[in-house]
Amino acid sequence: MRSGHSLIGGHYTATNDSIYASFYYMETGRMVKGRKPVAAGGAPETALSIGLGIGVSANSLIRHGLDVDVAEIDPVVYQYARDYFGLPEPRRVFIDDGRRVLERAEDASYDYVLHDVFTGGSVPKQLFSLEALQEIRRVLKPDGVLTLNYVGMFNGSEARATWSVWRTLREVFPHVASYKQAPEVTDGIINAVFIASALPIELRDWEEGDYLDGDMRYFAFTKMAECKLADPDANMLATASVVTDANNPLDTWQWLTASEHWKTMRSVLPLTFWLNY
């Protein structure tokens, strides 16, 4: 599926595996140790998916028996995820900006929030501010977990945007860990997932049922420990700042990321595709 200058998702027709293995990291909040187990016969766990794409994560959690709400700003993205990518019907669908959905949600509504709004080479900055993350913390249960997809530079001057996101997360959540898309990726644009919670970020051992019979999911999960990124050092944090609604330069900081992303997209599919479709 294309949105703007991005491929926001796709799957292999033979297996239905996601073309992006890192999308499976988004569902690993349910593997964080220390969460209160669901009582036998009790209500299912709940999740809010902000930014749908083709629905990889929402689909997975629904298959695991969770009640999933979706916040997606583009009605066509939601409809295509249902029509062409096998997304089951969520519990509730909000065709709206994720920030507004958060502001209307009740306190401690969700066990998990999945935050994936990257498109076109950058992120909508209003969903990464201190105030937005505080809203996410508010709607999470005390032992709830946020998984946040982020695409950016982790080295050089452009890394200030990445580490500012990390620093802002740490203002809201006591524990934050990040995982890159593949062990061999060391430079340039990196697709990473941040996991944040009041709980220490320690993942339990994988179980057969976690894989949902998917080879790509199995590969992603078994490689995840190798993909853990080190926390930023003092030099990295010296360039970072807490991002707020009043002081939010993420869009201007990500111009190089956006440019490099556009170059990558043109190497995946020819320029004629982007111009004509």
Catalytic residues: 116
φ/ψ bin of 148: left (φ > 0), alpha (ψ from -120 to 50), beta (otherwise) = beta
**For residue 107, which phi and psi values (nearest 5 degrees)?**
-60, 145
The DSSP bridge partners found for residue 187 are none
How many C-alpha atoms does 110 have within 13 Å on its Cβ side?
31
Class of residue 112 by CB neighbours under 10 A (exposed 0-12, middle 13-18, buried 19+): buried
d(CA 110, CA 47) in angstroms, rounded, equals: 5
Q: What is the DSSP string of 66-100?
A: -EEEEE-S-HHHHHHHHHHS-PPPPSEEE-S-HHH
Q: Is residue 56 a contact partner of residue 212, using CB atoms and an 8 Å limit?
A: no
In the three-class reduction of DSSP (H, G, I as helix; E, B as strand; rest coil), residue 122 is classed as strand
d(CA 260, CA 243) in angstroms, rounded, equals: 23
The DSSP bridge partners found for residue 192 are 150, 180
How many C-alpha atoms does 69 have within 13 Å on its Cβ side?
19
In the three-class reduction of DSSP (H, G, I as helix; E, B as strand; rest coil), residue 269 is classed as coil
